[in-house]
Amino acid sequence: MRVLFLTLFVVFADQISKLWIKGFSIPFLHLNHQGMSLGQRVEVIGSFFQITFVENPGMAFGIGLDLSIKFWVSILTLIASVGLCYYLYYVRNKSLSLRIAIALILAGAIGNLIDRVFYGVIYDYAPLFYGHVVDFLDFDFWHFSLFGRSYDRWPVFNVADMAVTAGVLVLLFFYKQNDTDNEKKSGGVIPVEDDMNKEKDGNTEQN
């Protein structure tokens, strides 16, 4: 279960980056960081890569949600996170690549779940479970359409989104590699047990 350290690191990096973008204040520690204004852009590599502060009230790619649906999305994400924790324990003796993939997906789910559950209350704009996800990584890759919407830039995302994407890619690679390994192990040779079963079947027919 040491891969949980990876999960904790990603969640920590995700939340620190979001708080730095959004701003925070801790009076008893005399800490106050102004952060960025909503919609503000800061060029990093020209127009190709910018830090753009947006808040996503819906799902990925800016898909809006009704308030009732949004609540259940938060609840389902919470349930899924618990399920991923259990599954990570279940596969604790499996391949390291599988455990890393699940740990990354779990980190991404928890990172965005914290926004949805607590940010509305912390920043005093929405009740529990109705917060907005903070996004800020803005790349200009290509123009495309998705779910009936057109985008002239890649949708703004965050560290948690990166973790989920990386986890899915590792997971896909793991299954591809696993299938290849199984083919190599079999090598077209009939297993001993199957060979013995065929001999038994042949003897039975002769009798």
Going by their DSSP bridges, the two strands 24-26 and 31-33 should be labelled as antiparallel
- Distance in angstroms between the alpha carbons of the first and the last residue of the chain: 55
Q: Is 161 a catalytic residue?
A: yes
Q: Where are the alpha helices (DSSP H) in the chain?
A: 4-22, 67-90, 96-114, 120-122, 159-186, 192-206
Catalytic residue among 161, 179, 194, 201: 161
On the 0-12 / 13-18 / 19+ scale of CB atoms within 10 A, 45 is exposed
Catalytic residue among 14, 115, 135, 138: 135
- The one-letter amino acid code at 89 reads Y
Distance CA 84, CA 163 (A): 14
Active site residues per annotation: 135, 161
